[in-house]
Structure 1
Amino acid sequence: MSRDCILDSTVDRYQHVGCRKSEGAHYTPTRLSQFVSEKIIEKLKKKESIVIADPAIGDGELILSFLSSLDSTDNIEVIGFDINLESIELSKKRILNFYPNVRINLIHGDYLDYCINGNSDLCEYKLPKFDAIIANPPYVRTQVLGAEQSQFLSKNFGLKGRVDIYQAFLIGMSKCLSEDGVAGVIVSNRFLTTKGTGALRQSLHDLYDIYNIWDFGDTKLFEAAVLPAVLLFKMKAEKPDFSTEFRSIYETNENEVDFAETPVDAISLDGVVRCSNGKNYLIKAGLLDYDSSPKDIWRVKDLTSEKWLDDVYRKTWATFGEVGKIRVGVKTTADNVFIKSSWIDETGLVPELIRPLITHHVAERFKQSDAETKYILYTHEMVNGKRKAIDIDKYPISKMYLEQHRVQLEGRNYVIEANRKWFEIWVPQSPLLWAENKIVFRDICEEPTFWLDNKQSIVNGDCYWMVNDYKKEETDLLWLVLAVANSKFIEYFYDIKFNNKLYSNKRRFISQYVEQFPLPDPKSVISVKMIMLAKSIYNCTDKQERNESEKLLDDLVWEAFDLPCPIF
């Protein structure tokens, strides 16, 4: 059977898509399946027989692509797991339709149970170790899994932080991959850069020798909002004889120098590539790199980028994180109760405890926009240096209002189970810090959007913020933070250091990134100019004058780090 015939086949493939999506499954695009298969086979040692396994077989597309990439399918055994019986039947039908000579053992059960308990009751006979694993594990996050299941996975697979089920699949593969076997796995690229997956990065480094990482970034290979990466690895050897190759592909506005049919084809090229979808992509190639530990953010290391970062660090006086802790805003878990645009219009009341609230709706560079400010009923205070819930009986209007919503608020079981008051905001942060001047910034945006708040506002959970925690003697330091944070320099630093964007060229300005942003010496002549100019922009009301000042300030930031400004 020809490859084209197989890959064009859509026999019943999408008949139960809705059901599978509810289980966290996302169907693998055919070209990506083919890519992963080819990469596994390139590393696979020649054997008389091969055992290939898919721990979440779904519709069988990954296995079909693997089989179609082989020179011969004689002496091939396919092992597949799935918790969905329809998937088992569908994948079996599709595989046998094209490869009736292949031995198939498809198991209706949980692959993770097999990893924990061995064969348990799932298998009729003892399964061999797998020569190859090809997988696109499901994505199911902590809040969907539930606390009990998350704790179970954490205990059995050594996971920490915000557990996603795909992480357990990755660790579980070490239980059944043969000594010289090869695994190719499609995962969310979030594991490369988020703070909560640091322990996973460490485990992957300890368990496996990773041949390749391909970060497919914002290429929209999946219908769902999954930004995929592909890992190719084998079991850990005492002395690996290779370094991990790392490639990434992200959309760009730069002019193309090459052409490829799809982003999957483009990632093997270099520079800027135009694809048949009409979009240009920048491909970066190098080796896997991290700062001091495998727990740190994983990124592409190439000589040009590393030299540029070294030049930045030579001129870095401190990082943002060394100035102040990067904090996320408050989380009420009942915004409809606690937050209003106009309390008098919406409730007919003005509770004593309402405070101005910063949300992304008022985001603007340097200074908060003139958009309507929301207000929050804030239920915490500081007493003898400690944060505590307010005495609700002292605030009769607030109490009366909250009592009207008591059923909903008490329905937040996690609040009650944590021995908190029924009317509390779930994540209130420190009431003491709201009175301080602070830098506030948006999480997701195309360009950095940082501004100064000096109105003692509370920050909502859709924004991050920082105060000058550690260098109080530098009273103008937040202005320097503001100047650097809103610069093209920081965009460039972000893209080289973290190399991570969402769709539509948007960046994520979250704590683990922003805390690493560099600052020049605040006492240098250039920094003093930057501070003065940032203050001037904050107070400026003329749009043209402000734009000119921002351009001048941007040039000063590059000068402060003694680096030439690239052409954007």
Structure 2
Amino acid sequence: MKGHHPTPQNLAEKMVRRLFEGNLPMEGDRILYPGCGTAPFAVAVENICQENGWPTPSGYGVDISPELLEAAREQSLRHVRFEQRDFLASEMLEEEGPFNYIVGNPPYVPIEGLNKEEKTRYRAEFGTASGRFDLYILFFERALEMLAPSGRITFITPEKWEYVETATPLRTLLRDEEVHVEEIRHIEEDTFEGLITFPSVTTIRRSQPSKTRVVLRDGTTHATMLPASGQSWASSIRGADLRDMETGLTLGDVTTRVSAGMATGADSIFVMKRDEVPSSLEPDWVRPTVSGRQLNEKGSPRTDSVLLCPYRDDGSLVEEQKLGTFGEWAQRHRDRLEDRSCVKKAGKEWYAWHETPPMSDLLQPKIVFKDIEKEPRFWAEREGDIIPRHSVYYLVPDQGVSFDGLLTYLNSPIAQEWMEANCQRAANGFLRLQSRVLRQLPVPKDIVESYQTALAL
């Protein structure tokens, strides 16, 4: 089954104990195992109920994989029947439910793993099938539809639904007046062997909302009232009270651009050391450049690397008949350059870059930073001549914004704390400094020299 990642038995037992915590099973209760796989949760339920002398709920397990269901039936569990069914099919609502308990490990299937028919069906039937949704998000919605009053759900999923834009409808749904997110527990990032998923165990109850208990990976706990709208929950979950930062201004308000650097589609050809550039190409076709790795190594955006650039200062591509020595050089690599997707699929000229450079912004004094970093750091590129590559992001301050003031603020502890609380996690404790998130960073008004004047205009 696509998206299926076996749940370790010890984890399944911990999740079932959380499912029953303060909500012990009673005679007549029902439990649902969506995407049941080989039945680790059903095994845990039967063992824990027998161990404690509790009534075992009547169980129902569904999965679309006959192979996994065969393995589940081989467990010889007494309390559960298994059927080959699609949990996300509308027929589930007509024939089954409600359930007092729902527990599972929904499949992780990004939108790229779905065919056209599946995408169309899900978008028509699920309010949470928004943007580049993942299948596990839909499992939350369907489970809520099948949950009895006062019933409880415990799911393990990637944590990113707590803050990515795609999951906005899910976060809105989970702040419904009859849905209480009881607990969010972040567990070890390597819980699933061979995967780095940043898993989160979420327990939800059909009841009036209240504060959510949060357990972070370092063992610290706190209670928080999650935002009522679909906005990111990251700062609330990570325990950062940053309300005093709100000024009415964000980084997006005071910058012309916050964007990733350029992708050529063939860095091995367009990028070289300055002393390797043929003399016939200097200086008309050469631009200084920097990569994320070089920012770390040099501690400065100024490096000995250059980009061979067929674009004018206004961003227009030089016509092929006017390429001169650049064209002679590029012809030697034509087969490789024509093999890129930007040429084959997007119809770009064979010597163009994968992305068209916004030269009017790139050739400005700017602040640069790595796309992924454990401790975010920002550098000044004051000359405005360096073209960042795709592993480097850059931002261009608006006129009237203090360049040095903004740079100092971005490297300040308070800004770093905000990024720690709001940016998406990458492996090994690193943060993804996505432009969409950074544009929301509150900034102090005193770095905008003409703030009041700008408001008046």
State how far apart, in whole Å, the 1-side matches of 2:425 and 2:69 are. Answer: 36
Q: 1:106 aligns to what?
A: 83
C-alpha distance in 1 between matches for 2:322 and 2:448: 51
Report runs of 4+ in structure 1 exceeding 6 Å deviation: 346-349
Code of the aligned partner of 2:231: K
Give the superposition deviation at 1:450: 0.9
Deviation for aligned residue 1:138: 1.8
Q: Indicate which of 448, 468, 473 corresponds to 2:400.
A: 473
Distance (whole Å) between structure 2 residues aligned to residue 348 and residue 523 of structure 1: 44
Q: CA deviation at 1:34?
A: 2.1
Tell me, yes or no, if the aligned pair for 2:425 and 2:431 is still in contact at 8 Å.
yes
Say if 1:438 and 1:176 are closer, same or farther in 2 by CA, change over 3 A: same
1:170-319 to structure 2, matched below 5 A, reads 170-206=140-176, 209-216=179-186, 219-223=189-193, 224-235=195-206, 240=208, 242-250=209-217, 281-290=218-227, 293-300=229-236, 305-306=240-241, 309-313=242-246, 316=247, 318-319=249-250
Structure 1 pair 143/74, CA: closer, same or farther in 2 (3 Å)? same
- Structure 1, gaps ≥5 residues long: 1-19, 121-125, 251-280, 526-568
Where does the alignment leave 5 or more consecutive residues of structure 2 unmatched?
450-457
| 1:40 aligned residue (2, 16, 19) | 19
CA positional deviation for 1:522? 3.6
Greater displacement, 512-521 / 343-352: 343-352
Instruction: Check conservation: 1:59, 1:90, Cα contact below 8 A.
Output: yes
Q: For residues 49-448 of structure 1, what are the structure 2 equivalents within 5 Å? A: 49-70=28-49, 71=52, 76-94=57-75, 96=76, 99=77, 101-107=78-84, 109-112=85-88, 114=89, 116-118=90-92, 126-145=95-114, 149-158=118-127, 159-206=129-176, 209-216=179-186, 219-223=189-193, 224-235=195-206, 240=208, 242-250=209-217, 281-290=218-227, 293-300=229-236, 305-306=240-241, 309-313=242-246, 316=247, 318-324=249-255, 325-332=257-264, 334-336=265-267, 339-342=270-273, 350=281, 355-364=287-296, 368=300, 371-375=303-307, 377=309, 382=314, 391-395=319-323, 397-398=326-327, 400=331, 403-405=334-336, 407-409=338-340, 415=346, 425-428=353-356, 430-448=358-376
Q: How far is 1:209 from its partner?
A: 0.9
Q: 2:377, 2:278 → 1: CA distance?
A: 33
**Is the Cα contact below 8 Å between 2:258 and 2:394 reproduced in 1?**
yes
Report SS of the residue matched to 1:293.
coil
Once the two structures are superposed, residues 270-303 of structure 1 have per-residue CA deviations (whole angstroms, 9 ceiling, x without a partner) of xxxxxxxxxxx2513111333x73233444379x
Note if 1:451 corresponds to 2:379.
yes
1:515 corresponds to 2:439: yes
Q: Secondary structure at the match of 1:289?
A: coil
Give the distance between the partners of 1:401 and 1:150, measured in 2 at CA. Answer: 43
Change in CA separation of 1:473 and 1:411 when aligned onto 2, cut-off 3 Å: closer
* 1: CA distance, partners of 2:153 / 2:391: 38
- Report the secondary structure of 1:375's partner residue: strand
AA aligned to 1:214 is I
TM-score by length of 1: 0.66
Assess, with a 3 A threshold, how the Cα gap between structure 1 residues 89 and 344 changes in structure 2: closer, same or farther: farther
**1:72 and 1:156 mapped to 2: Cα distance?**
41
- Give me the whole-angstrom Cα distance separating, in 2, the residues matched to 1:358 and 1:327: 15
CA contact (8 A) 1:52 1:130 kept: yes
Distance 2:298 2:21 in 1: 52
Inter-CA distance 300–66: structure 2 relative to 1 (3 Å threshold): farther
Amino acid at match of 1:51: R
Structure 1 pair 139–389 and aligned structure 2 pair: CA distance change class (3 A): farther
Q: Describe the superposition over 1:107-157 as per-residue Cα deviations: whole angstroms up to 9, x where unpaired.
A: 1x4322x2x34479xxxxx33433321121122223344666445433432
Q: Secondary structure at the match of 1:341?
A: strand
**What do you get for the CA RMSD once the two structures are aligned?**
3.8
The CA deviation at 1:181 is: 2.7
Does 2:390 correspond to 1:461? Answer: yes
Alpha-carbon distance between aligned partners in 2 of 1:378 and 1:152, rounded to the nearest angstrom: 45
Q: In 2, Cα distance between the equivalents of 1:523 and 1:336?
A: 37
Aligned to 1:484: 409
1:190-236: CA deviation from partner (whole Å, max 9, x where unpaired): 1112234333322333496133232416553232101011222244x
For residues 440 and 30 of structure 2, what CA distance do their matches in structure 1 show?
A: 45
The structure that is helix-richer by fraction is 1
C-alpha distance in 2 between matches for 1:486 and 1:346: 35
Secondary structure of the equivalent of 1:405?
A: helix
1:336 shift after superposition: 5.0
Q: Is the 8 A contact 2:171 2:229 kept in 1?
A: no
Residues 437 and 455 in structure 1, CA contact (< 8 A), matched pair in contact too: yes
Q: 1:203 to 1:511 in 2, by over 3 A?
A: farther
Greater RCO, 1 or 2 (C-alpha within 8 Å, sep 6+): 2
